[in-house]
Amino acid sequence: MVNGKPKETTYYLAILLNKDENIILSEEHTDYSWIKSEQSNEYSLSLSLHDLMINAEEYLINNSNLIQ
């Protein structure tokens, strides 16, 4: 709970194209992290979300020809 409301977390699946790109956080954010899908279990994610991230990353790697 944050300010009496359920905390909402948004995860974005992405392939990092430029590791040198600067990340600019808005004032409402305190931190960010790029993680590999197999690290998701270290962040207290549910097993189903962990499995989803593993499968989605595998899909992106196997279909990298779709990325321009």
Q: What is each CA distance from 50 to 39, 57, 60, 68, in whole angstroms?
A: 9, 11, 15, 26
pTM of the model: 0.56
- Quote the pLDDT of residue 11: 76
Question: Tell me: the pLDDT tens digits for 27-60?
Answer: 888 888 777 778 877 877 788 888 888 898 888 8
Gyration radius of the chain over CA positions: 14
Instruction: Look at the block and give the residue holding tokens 């194209």.
Output: 17
Q: Residues with Cβ < 8 Å from 57, sequence gap 6 or more?
A: 13, 36, 37
Contact of 15 with 67, CB cutoff 8 Å: yes
